[in-house]
Amino acid sequence: MALYAISDLHLALNTDKPMDIFGEKWRNHHEKIKENWNNKITEEDTVLIAGDISWSMKSDESKDDLDWIDALPGKKIIIKGNHDYWWGSISKLNKMYENTKFIQNNFFTYKDWAICGSRGWICEGSDKFTQKDKKIFDREQIRLRLSLEEAKKAGHEKIICMVHYPPTNEKFEDSAFINIFKEFGVNKVIYGHLHGMALKGKVLNEERDGIDYKLTSCDFINFDPIKILD
């Protein structure tokens, strides 16, 4: 039994959205994911998927992509990414599958670890941050707190948090999200969103102030889920 993580699957099984327009590395990327997944992950394992699951725009259109994920070995725990427009009622999503679950204001567990999360958003101090972003940024903090509070109420002390967006800006300053991680004693943070040229420079993929940050964008980890815990 082990815990793995990956993000930004960007599936388009019934949508005309070829990912190789973003580079040759992305050609048939879902087949690379499937091969790597099947080579290491068993039914006893759990995989965290930190957003940007499907290019579908509506919930009924996303079913092929979600079915594809659910058919892979192991339990899956998913958060929303900025491209997951198909994401609908959380109660309906969590009734769809036995082994694929979705986080929104709630949490799940792996052994004695709580798995919490929220989509997150572009952080204050980022070059592109606007007043319009502030409203979403504040709302995502509330959702993150709700997830973490639920875990704490249930007595969990060891916490892994998923956010889709990087929880900091280009200057790697502490954000409101990082302050929440510290407040709740989060041990590990899984995130994605960054691709291409954004991966050429420094990224937050290390331990900082006692929190272990892992970037799990598909193209950063070569479409191969990384182990987080045994």
CA distances from 104 to 16, 35, 51, 55, 134 (A): 28, 29, 12, 19, 20
Q: Give residue-wise pLDDT tens across range 6-37.
A: 999 999 988 777 776 677 788 899 999 999 99
Q: Give residue-wise pLDDT tens across range 145-203.
A: 999 999 999 999 999 999 999 999 999 999 999 999 999 999 999 999 999 877 777 89
* Domain interval for residue 18: 3-229
Q: φ and ψ at 223, to 5 degrees?
A: 60, 30
**CA separation for the pair 169, 178 (Å, rounded):** 11
Domain count, the chain: 1
**CA separation for the pair 82, 95 (Å, rounded):** 23
Q: Give residue-wise pLDDT tens across range 104-118.
A: 999 999 999 999 999
Here the tokens at position 136 are 């979403």
Here the tokens at position 123 are 């952080």
Contacts of 210 by beta carbon, 8 Å cutoff, 6+ apart: none
Which CATH number covers residue 117?
Answer: 3.60.21.10
Structure confidence at residue 212 (pLDDT): 99
Structure confidence at residue 20 (pLDDT): 67
Can you list the alpha helix ranges (DSSP code H) found in the chain?
29-40, 63-71, 90-96, 131-153, 176-183
Please tell me the pTM assigned to this model. 0.96
What average pLDDT does this structure show over 118-125?
Answer: 97
**CA separation for the pair 219, 199 (Å, rounded):** 9
Q: Give residue-wise pLDDT tens across range 67-80.
A: 999 999 999 999 99
What average pLDDT does this structure show over 201-227?
Answer: 96
